């Protein structure tokens, strides 16, 4: 199994509070991604990183920010959580981008915003 650890695995929080999810990899892969998974929508890209301090927005980036200060860590922050951000969040890594891209996923974080 690829060395990807997401923390926490489960979190319940209240509307308006800040939340940070962490993804840690031991594979030294260049690319890291945050996806959210909701029924009927599959996986939707929030943000991704192509190197330390290099990040870009995905299709559902509003309300989220990310940081990557080290190769191995990619943080996702919800500055002020809303109920629409209740979801399962997956971190993924890959060595390449494009046709040779092979994603390895973490086990996910179940976030509930009440």
Partner 1 sequence: TQLLEQSPQFLSIQEGENLTVYCNSSSVFSSLQWYRQEPGEGPVLLVTVVTGGEVKKLKRLTFQFGDARKDSSLHITAAQTGDTGLYLCAGDTGRRALTFGSGTRLQVQP
Q: What does the binding site for partner 1 look like in residue numbers (CB under 8 A)?
A: 4, 31, 33, 35, 40-45, 48, 56, 58, 90, 92, 97-99, 101-108
Looking at the Cβ atoms of 81 and 106, the one nearer to partner 1 is 106
Q: For residues 53, 29, 96 and 78, what is the CA-based torsion angle, rounded to 10 degrees?
A: -50
In whole angstroms, the minimum distance from the beta carbon of 11 to partner 1 comes to: 15
In whole angstroms, the minimum distance from the beta carbon of 99 to partner 1 comes to: 4
The rounded distance, in Å, linking the Cα atoms of 63 and 73 is 20
Looking at the Cβ atoms of 31 and 64, the one nearer to partner 1 is 31
Looking at the Cβ atoms of 78 and 92, the one nearer to partner 1 is 92
């Amino acid at each position: 199994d690829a060395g990807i650890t997401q923390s926490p695995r489960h979190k319940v929080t209240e509307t308006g509070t800040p939340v940070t999810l962490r993804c840690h990899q031991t594979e030294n892969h260049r690319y890291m991604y945050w996806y959210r998974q909701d029924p009927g929508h599959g996986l939707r890209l929030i943000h991704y990183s192509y190197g330390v301090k290099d990040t870009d927005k995905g299709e559902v980036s509003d309300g989220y920010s990310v940081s990557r200060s080290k190769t191995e860590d990619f943080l996702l922050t919800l500055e002020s959580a809303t109920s629409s951000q209740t979801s399962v969040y997956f971190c993924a890594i890959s060595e390449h981008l494009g046709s040779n891209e092979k994603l390895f996923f973490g086990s996910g974080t179940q976030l509930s915003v009440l």
